[in-house]
A and B are shown apart, each in its own frame.
With several copies, the nearest count.
Chain A
Amino acid sequence: METLLSPVILFFVLGALAAFAKSDLSIPEPLSKALSLYLMCAIGLKGGILVSDNGMTVDLFLAAIAGLVLSCLIPIGAFALLRSFGKLETTNAAAVAAHYGSVSVVTFVAGNQLLTDAGTPPAGYMIAVLALMETPAIIVGIFLARRNTGQAFQPGQDLLRETLLNGSVVLLLGSFIIGLIIGKDGFAPVSPVFETGFTGLLCLFLLDMGLVAARRLRHARNLTLRLVTLAIVFPIVNGTIGTTIGAMLGFDIGTATTLGILAASASYIAVPAAMRLALPKADAGLYLAMSLAVTFPFNIIVGIPFYTMLAKLMV
């Protein structure tokens, strides 16, 4: 409950209410992009510094493999449900499925903050896992789509670049490595910007996400009740699986929960960009509405506390 009254969540709600009320409030796009670049740098650095402090452990590799496997398998299950229960045709089902295999940076950040506040911070290497989980689902999604459909124009090389060298992935991993190199001491002079300022700037970013999510919901055309249901069922199921695997691998509460959060969250940055290129016929309004306007708020408000509770029961 207290979580829901944190300024970060309240700004998200303010943004959503303003958009539902059709206010002309809007965040200038360059600011929005600047904030998102800043968040990537800040969490990348933070993860790198944590890992440089604690050294690399076998847990890092276990978590990485778990993350990769999850992000490859989740889309397959999601695809089947989207086709059968969701009644989507192949291309749309594949595109949506890819989003659920990938991850949401801000959901991760929100979970991170709540877990840290609760005294159970996740391991620093989970940021590397986050970065690793951004792209594999894209490949799986495209594969699912192409089994059944032919496509004329193959933006092959571009697609691989868009995917693997997606700006957000590069920045996240790059900052992680910089964090590894500079360690705690090198971080001191930049910590006022990347650490002290973090929560305040996250508020502004979530204000924007509230605006964008609510506008997407308002203008979503093909978002059926069945699809909304799936956009809530997916995080519950995937989050439960992720948390359980984390617990089985022997991770601490924070880390196991975070694996659950990664599994539960849906991409709204790297995957949509790749889908516009690879599966242009898929309905962008639909996949963004599901991931950004339903699953994202669900995870922030209901999901994260739920996966935390699960982890506490299991670890």
Chain B
Amino acid sequence: MIKTTTRKKIEILMDVPLLRSLRDLAIKNGVRGYTVLPTLAGGGDQGRWRDDQVTGGAGSKVVFATIVKEDTADRFLTALEPLLDEYSLIVTITTVEVIRGDNF
């Protein structure tokens, strides 16, 4: 059996225009690597949206995903907390196993 290490995967759904600031915040708080994933559409308390580029993507959303050690997760999430309500971010934290754990 292959050796794995436990890490936290943090996924944040946010509006595209916020991506740069959030990435900088992540890096400032110890995040070493991240990946950005696309979305197509969604719905919630504020109504429905779908990716539409007529408006220059102002209404588009992306997922910022990063795999981190537990303590980095805490640090980043603490820094993030004040923004959650402001920018209605959707944040999930999942426990995952990784291989070559010292890369994260």
A-side residues, CB < 8 A to B, are 28-30, 32-33, 36, 151-153, 155, 158, 162, 166-168, 205, 208-209, 212, 215, 219-221, 268-270, 272-277, 280-281, 283-285, 288, 292
Contact (Cβ within 8 A) B56 A219: no
Does B101 count as interface, using CB distance less than 8 angstroms?
no
B-side residues, CB < 8 A to A, are 15-18, 20-21, 46-59, 82-83, 86-88
Given contacts A158-B21, A162-B17, contact A270 B48 (CB under 8 A): no
Q: How far is the CA of A277 from the CA of B36 in the complex (A)?
A: 18
**Distance in Å from the Cβ of A141 to the closest Cβ of chain B?**
14
Contact (Cβ within 8 A) B47 A280: no
**Distance in Å from the Cβ of A17 to the closest Cβ of chain B?**
17
Q: Which chain A residues border B83 with CB–CB below 8 Å? A: 152-153
Which of B15, B53, B82, B87 is close to A30, meaning CB atoms less than 8 Å apart? Answer: B53
Contact (Cβ within 8 A) B51 A153: no
Q: Which chain B residues border A268 with CB–CB below 8 Å? A: 54-56
Q: How far is the CA of A220 from the CA of B86 in the complex (A)?
A: 21
Q: Is the interface of B mostly helix, strand, loop or mixed?
A: mixed
Q: Which residue of B lies closest to A275 (CB)?
A: B58
**Distance in Å from the Cβ of A246 to the closest Cβ of chain B?**
28
Q: How far is the CA of A36 from the CA of B87 in the complex (A)?
A: 27
**Distance in Å from the Cβ of B34 to the closest Cβ of chain A?**
15
Contact (Cβ within 8 A) A212 B58: no
Q: Which chain B residues border A288 with CB–CB below 8 Å? A: 55, 58-59
Q: Which chain A residues border B58 with CB–CB below 8 Å? A: 269, 272-273, 275-276, 284, 288
Contact (Cβ within 8 A) A285 B51: no
Which of B47, B48, B51 is close to A29, meaning CB atoms less than 8 Å apart? Answer: B51
The 9 closest A-B pairs by CB, nearest first: A272-B58, A33-B53, A269-B56, A32-B53, A273-B58, A29-B53, A276-B17, A155-B21, A280-B87
